Each structure stands twice: as structure tokens, then as C-alpha cells.
Amino acid sequence: MKESFDYTILAFAGGVGGAKLALGLAGLLDPEHLTIAVNTGDDFEHLGLRISPDLDTVMYTLAGLANPETGWGLIGESWNSLDALGRLGGETWFRLGDRDLATHIERTRRLRAGETLSLVTRHFCRSLGVMADVIPMTDDPVRTVVHTDEGALPFQEYFVHRRCEPRVRDFEFAGITSAKPLPQLLERLAQADALIYCPSNPYVSIAPIISLPGVRSLIASRRSAGMPVVAVSPIVGGAALKGPAAKMMTELGLESTVTALAKHYAGTIGGLVIDRVDAAAAPHIESVGIRTLVTETVMKTDEDKMRLARETVEFAKSLMRHGDGETGRQGDKETD
């Protein structure tokens, strides 16, 4: 039975860290009180199939099917198709397991038959028992391009094939100016009691969603009307727990710290959840007008995910009471 949180949350998510907090939020809130908008800038076409890595990671995690060791893919996966593909000289750098292939085959079939990505995602989620609304940020194609010292690389080429080795110079979201935000995303953004940025990469997971036409201005309008916007830091002790966020920050000429993250989000969020190891940074974060919640942000167990989700929602509620932009630091339960 869900806890009694009569509070509507819109969460932006992408990747493993985002999926973990999304699971905690889904365990905390009734389905009608939660929408998870997922980055699709990582989507690409591979082996003739439409792959949606972030959507699948969130979907598999909420369904209890994600590989606990990697955070992505399916638990108990086998690799017979990939092995056979390799013997034939095919590309095997993007690891698609046998069961995972079924998702991509059926998604591709439905898209070619004229269904939208959002409709396919909803069907898949319900088929796997996921009741929370998991939505793509758009039904239109947006592709993240990483500009590096070796030239422009499609995101999956940079992230998986090249293992994030090239030095990052900038990011581009091809197709973003003509892409339409999913209508449900705009509706939930206009209605939500709070917006939460999950601990996902701020540059390639959260930024594509915010960069969709009209989304940034609607967030600003809702903040002005009192809706709190809270981010959970993916940076802990100067490192990213998963993914290349810290490396990207360093290569962009920034410090890989929660303070630098706060400056990146300054003016767009009212609260930042940081780990206890970064507690000394709280005054610096507050100096740019962002309230902080200092707690344990590393999610190793489902209990950790639920606890962090509960604390983040309660933190957001406190910002709504006291004003999104009011500075001040919070501990686990009370304001200092």
C-alpha cells in the first residue's frame, strides 16, 4: 500500500541514477500522482531497430526486471543472438541481449505501423505491470551529438562504442528546435505540485528535456507561481556514481563538484539534494539562491530508493511552504 502523499510529482529522468529514484517515487506515490518524463536524446537506430536506452532502463527498473549489476538491460539475460551476430561479422559493440531484443523488435514494428513512441511506451509499461506514467519527452526524433576533440559523435558512439574516451567540447541536440514536447509532458508540468530532476546527467539527460520548445519557459512560469523545482545531485564527493557526468564537467572546464552543479542549475531550481560527504558545500550552494537538503543520496537498496524519494518529496513540499527561492539548509527532518 502506498504512503499517503496527496501530492502530484513530475520527474525528469534518464539513465540508471534517474531510474533508481523513479523506482523510489513509484513506490511512494499512487500512479495518478506521478509522471516520469524520460530523455530520448539517447535514442538511436541500430541493426535496423529503434533503441530507446533511457526509456527501457526506467521501464525495466520499475518493472523489477533490470539487471542489478549493470542497472541497464534485463536480469538473467542471455547473449546467443549477439554471439551469432559476431560470428557473421556483425556489429556487437552495443550489447543487446536475447530478451531485450524482443523489446526493440516490437517497438520498431509498432513505430513502422504508425504508432507513436508514447503509445508504444505506455503499452510496454502496462504489459510489464508498470502503472506509473512513464512518458518519452517527445514523439519526435531528437538526437544528442557530443562534440569532442575527435569531432562530432552520436551519443551512443561516444558513450558505448568509444567508452567516453574522447574529450568533450560541447553538446548538440539535433532536431530539438522542431521537436514538439509530448502534450502530456506540458499538461503535467502545468498541473504538478512539484518538479524533480532525478540524479541523471545534467548535460545529456536533463538538458534535452528542458531544451524542448516551451518547456524552459513553462518551468519558469510555474516556479513564479510557487511550484518548487528540486534536483537530486548525481555528483557525490566529486565523482559521478554512474556515467560520465564528472568527466564531462572537467573537460568543459568546470569542477566536478556539487557547487559547480548548483551554478549550472542556478536560476532554474529552488532546491538541491546533496550527499553528506558534500555537506561543506551547502553554504556555497545557498549563496546562489538554492536551498539544500543534506542526506544519504547513494541508493544501494530499494529501501534507499524509497527513503530518498520520501525525503526529496518532503523537501519539495517544504519549499512550496517557504518559497522556492528562499535560501536555507535542511537536514533530514528539520531546517537548520
pLDDT tens digits, one per residue of 220-263: 999 999 999 999 999 999 988 788 999 999 999 999 999 999 99
Q: Which three cell numbers stand for residue 248?
A: 564531462
pLDDT, greater one: 335 or 236: 236
Could you tell me the CA-to-CA distances from 292 to 7, 248, 282, 322 in Å, in that order? 21, 24, 6, 13
Spatial contact of 309 and 230, defined as CB atoms under 8 Å apart: no
pLDDT at 218 exceeding the cut of 60: yes
- In terms of DSSP H, where are the helices of 252-295? 258-265, 282-286
Contact 311, 331 (CB under 8 A): no
The maximal CA–CA distance of the chain, rounded, in angstroms, is 63
Strands 9-13 and 34-38: parallel
Distance between terminal CA atoms of the chain? 33
* Parallel, antiparallel or unpaired: strands 151-154 and 143-148: antiparallel
pTM comes to 0.93
Residues 45-57, mean pLDDT to the nearest whole number? 97
CB atoms within 10 A of CB 179: 21
Specify the DSSP element, H or E, that contains 294: strand 291-295
- What is the reported pLDDT for 123? 98
Phi and psi based region of residue 214 (left: phi greater than 0; alpha: psi -120 to 50; beta: remaining): left
pLDDT score for 322: 66
Is residue 43 predicted with pLDDT exceeding 80?
yes
pLDDT exceeds cutoff 90 at 335: no
Say if strands 235-236 and 239-240 run parallel, antiparallel, or are unpaired.
antiparallel
Name the grid cell of 225. Answer: 507561481
Question: What stretches of 29-135 show up as alpha helix (H) in DSSP?
Answer: 53-62, 80-87, 98-112, 117-127
Cβ–Cβ under 8 Å, residues 94 and 118: no
Report residue 45 as a C-alpha cell.
537506430
**Beta-bridge partners for 194:** 9
